[in-house]
Structure 1
Amino acid sequence: MNTAASSQAVTPPRTVPAAPAQAGRPLAEVDTPALLVDLDVMDANIARVHGDAHQAGVRVRPHAKAHKCAALAQRQIAAGAQGVCCQKLGEAEALAAAGIDDILVTNELVGMAKARRAAQLAGRIRLGVCADHPLQVQQLAEATQAAGTCLDVLVELDVGQGRCGVTSAADAVALAQAIAAAAPGLRFAGLHAYHGGAQHLRSPAERRAAIAGAAARAREAVAALAAAGLPCATVTGAGTGTYALEAASGLYTELQPGSYVLMDVDYAANTPAEGSAPLGQALFGWCSVISLRPGQAVLDGGLKAFGVDCGLPRVLHPGWQVKGISDEHTVIVSTTADAAPLALGDKLRLIPGHCDPTVNLHDWLVAFRGDTVEAVWPVTARGAMY
């Protein structure tokens, strides 16, 4: 045996499974488990959210981490989106390769390997990233100088999430000055002010209070930046749960909702603001009954088909609910004496608890209207975590 050769790690190319459906075929023929997207509902969600943004005079830059799908991102851009957001540089690279040319990575990049990748990508598309520490700025500056490219950098401000971001207006100014000093490789592009925790506060009053606090912190930073001669052209943030509040603030110039195109059990638990209807549920797990006994059925999709960080999926079959979930199975049980009957091989829709990690478990999205498959989209950036 050649021990030198055998010690080298070899990574075989990933084989993407065949699509579970074909365009033009009946929905009933879609193999399981799969992810379905109701195009009528999704298009209505896009029209509503983009329309709200347009009416408020702000841009919408949807967060593609919710769907990781270039075809869906292109649909959002065709409906007026400025571009898209990504959470990881790998997502941005995958979507850029599929033709998306205006991307904001709403995260910090640390290390020269990522800085060099970002600098190279900035030579092909308009790319923005976030920073909350001078070392990130230094690394990005070195990489863009070497590559001869220019990268937009936004200062991330912690407006209540308690995660990333500088924590004061003074720190925001100091970091913005460092970015501006790194021209022409870096361009100070504005402020990233996202309050993720506010998206899932259940009552409208709680969400209003959280976003009022976030906007106050962002407003202070914008004023300090202006006083330092650094006008803040972009203030970006917001999400599906609060985008209307940021749009009405008079401060935010760009909104980043992501889940609005798909929705899930967790977002459905939010109480809508008065006079506002909830967005429609467009994403469904599609599973078959593979085992049956009185009062119980077993479906062929489990933890490898549904993200459960926000709770179990909800089965859409009258009189049945999810009892438990394991690697490859979901067990549902009847809850009423007149529960709708089930037969072996029946296919059921389930609403995922959380759309983002659910989509990342799948290679394909099956887009349908009525009872017919209209398109089958690859999940372009599936698994792009670095």
Structure 2
Amino acid sequence: MSLPPPARVGDPLESVDTPALVIDLEVLDRNIAAMQDIADARGVALRPHAKSHKSADIARRQMACGAVGICCQKISEAELMATGGVDDILVTNQIVGARKIGRLSRLARHVRLGVCVDDTDNLAEIAAAARHSGAELDIYVEVEVGMGRCGVAPEKAGALCRAAAAEEGVRFAGLQAYNGRAQHIRDHRERGAAIARAGEAVRVVLADLEQAGLGGVRVTGAGTGSFEFEAGSGLWHELQAGSYIFMDADYARNLGPEGTPETTFGHSLFVLAGVLSTAPSGRVVVDAGLKALAVDSGLPLVAGPEGAAYLGASDEHGVVDPGGAALRPGDHVRLIPGHCDPTVNLHDWIVGARDGFVTDIWPVTARGAVF
């Protein structure tokens, strides 16, 4: 059963039902334009990661601003984005198993589709499925550049690239080189050093491929915490940043070159919580807990009222120190989630607002798309 949205277009924000996922559209659009301007100025392409927003509406907004396509993390996410009108998708993950690979090859008949591989058997299975379905898939060989997750060792990546180039039914499109661990290194210089090490790994692979006659290989990767380093490296051709559109509380802790918090992008995503109860201690209880926001990267910040602090979460409740504000049941508290990606996945609807009024209601297109 589909639940109705928490608001209607034209409603004042004060009347939005809670807890609700609310986006400040002015800040969202400013963030989208700022990252596109940075990519354009550096001469690199922007392929934002849709795992952050899971919204076909936002993906189309990014592409209208100049993004070449989007990234997805699961085949189900890609399928839903394609249904929502997105026609250029890179799945930045390994797709394994006959059922999922079949879906991948069928989807490739309708959109330009890429996928990452780090295994020769998986590559062969994907190529066979693509030939069977009459589709052609872009293959990106994922290189381990410091993430400690998927990816083939740099010294072994060349062989897999050559195998991909030789397979019928697929196109060898380039390298996936993403260091997610570097995204949340607070110190600017240390973040840059981590990406420099990733760049050395990429150079190893590119040199091997040049020797084998595979020059001009496309390199894609980067994230919100590190994009400036990849963009300025001369190695990466495409940026996959995602969270920049929202800027959660964790990314707000990253420092710029002057040792002060990064301010290139503003906070656009909020969980609007309602006050349920006031306690004798002076604290208040709100209706946004673990089922309304993710706390894996820390508790949310309180954007309003000023001076308030979110102290703890249980399933359906959050405890807030009002910081001197006279909050009463029914009042609203605006929360900046610690981690935007899993927070979005907890909601069915996105409420878009400008100047205190609801202007857009968007479904979270790929909510729960984990297959």
TM-score (norm 2): 0.97
**Higher mean C-alpha deviation, range 108-117 or range 79-88:** 108-117
Runs of at least 5 residues in structure 2 that lack an aligned partner in the other structure: none
> Secondary structure at the residue paired with 1:37?
strand
> Secondary structure at the residue paired with 2:215?
coil
Distance 1:219 1:367 in 2: 43
> Secondary structure at the residue paired with 1:245?
helix
Q: What's the offset of the Cα at 1:114?
A: 1.2
Q: What's the offset of the Cα at 1:267?
A: 0.3
Matching residue of 2:207: 223
Matching residue of 1:23: 9
Q: Within 5 Å, which residues of 2 pair with 1:83-102?
A: 83-102=69-88
**Is 2:223 the counterpart of 1:236?**
no
Alignment check: 8 A CA contact 2:45 2:237 kept = yes
Distance 2:206 2:17 in 1: 52
Identify which of 164, 171, 195 aligns with 1:179.
164
**Is 2:350 the counterpart of 1:331?**
no
**Is 2:32 the counterpart of 1:32?**
no
Matching residue of 1:289: 275
Q: Within 5 Å, which residues of 2 pair with 1:1-386?
A: 15-169=1-155, 171-183=156-168, 185-274=169-258, 277-294=263-280, 295-316=282-303, 317-335=305-323, 339-386=324-371
- RMSD between aligned alpha carbons? 1.2
Alignment check: 8 A CA contact 1:272 1:278 kept = no
Give the residue type in structure 1 aligned to 2:370: M
- Note the alpha carbon deviations across 1:218-265, whole angstroms, 9 max, x for none: 122112112112224310000001111100001110000000001111
Alignment check: 8 A CA contact 1:191 1:232 kept = no
Distance 2:158 2:216 in 1: 11
Distance 1:28 1:231 in 2: 57
Alignment check: 8 A CA contact 2:206 2:217 kept = no
Aligned residues: 367
Distance 1:248 1:21 in 2: 43
- Note the alpha carbon deviations across 1:303-361, whole angstroms, 9 max, x for none: 110011101112232332122111111011245xxx11111110110010100000000
> Secondary structure at the residue paired with 1:189?
strand
Distance 1:94 1:192 in 2: 23
> Secondary structure at the residue paired with 2:138?
strand
Distance 1:73 1:223 in 2: 35
Distance 2:98 2:184 in 1: 35
> Secondary structure at the residue paired with 1:66?
coil
> Secondary structure at the residue paired with 2:250?
helix
Distance 1:315 1:168 in 2: 43
TM-score (norm 1): 0.93
Alignment check: 8 A CA contact 2:278 2:285 kept = yes
Alignment check: 8 A CA contact 2:136 2:170 kept = yes
Distance 1:306 1:21 in 2: 19
Distance 1:96 1:234 in 2: 23
> Secondary structure at the residue paired with 1:128?
strand
Moved runs in structure 1, 4+ residues, more than 6 A? none
Distance 1:51 1:255 in 2: 12
- Note the alpha carbon deviations across 1:155-177, whole angstroms, 9 max, x for none: 000111111101123x2111112
> Secondary structure at the residue paired with 1:349?
strand
Give the residue type in structure 2 aligned to 1:344: P
Distance 2:360 2:267 in 1: 18
**Higher mean C-alpha deviation, range 270-279 or range 291-300:** 270-279
Distance 1:231 1:120 in 2: 30
Q: What's the offset of the Cα at 1:206?
A: 0.7
Distance 2:206 2:243 in 1: 28
Q: What's the offset of the Cα at 1:24?
A: 1.7
Distance 1:210 1:148 in 2: 41
**Higher mean C-alpha deviation, range 280-289 or range 15-24:** 15-24
**Higher mean C-alpha deviation, range 204-213 or range 272-281:** 272-281
Distance 1:323 1:155 in 2: 43
Alignment check: 8 A CA contact 2:175 2:219 kept = yes
Give the residue type in structure 2 aligned to 1:315: V
Distance 1:104 1:214 in 2: 21
